[in-house]
Chains A and B, each alone.
Chain A
């Protein structure tokens, strides 16, 4: 597996990113900016479901306004993240911290999708059900965990 990803790392366009003086930092900026954007908009929807934000509106109105930005930013974040991964693919794939970050991201995306799909149904109930609140809290925590692991990957590189 290491050999495959190491070979991938040596491909022309990946080398271009690695050796350019400005391309990698530019991609990093977009990756950071969009992850804040993703987590911020997801957190606002979760906070609405938990009853801490946007109480003048229904949860689905709140989510409708923010969700398109969650997914737009997510797309940019995944593409830029993949480009950053490519420059160190061989080492990243062997890093427990990095694999953990990917797993947390996957769980976070699934939870965010479940929350966005459930919100209309929960609005029709007399009050937002307890199970929805548990789901929203879990979603929030997983995304904080993703940031934490991401920070560790950035600080310590390959572990």
Chain B
């Protein structure tokens, strides 16, 4: 199965709505998997592909907003809420917590589909970001502790000599470490290494003495 083919999850306790949404979403060529409850959804095997969750606010087991919170920790898919009688506080909470859209029933199909598309685009982006970060983290894990110490100096633009003085070693050793870091991280230039470091959220060295 093509891992880039998006998938839409539908969670609604009403089977009629579930079926209708599944059919509507399938009619625009998207994969659809529907669930009757939050638990069913959480326990299901999810393919590794860009996804979107169309979530009913009122569910018999877990409230839609609670599910949203739970999914946020799990890098869950972006959520499009649908609701039978949505109230303003719920919608505000949902949007603030990152929901793509909050649609009261009956909703227009165009709004729903546009929201789903947006969600998938967002998720695809997020997924790419997430896989890039994972690759960088894997590469970073190959660095020795000494190389991880040197990296902040390199990305901060310190000369080898100064770094060596700070870390109490020789300029030659620092030069070797720098070469190893560039190689292990797969950075073709210092600029790329700086970008990678930022992505990993590493701090830049400020120097012990100036």
Same complex: no
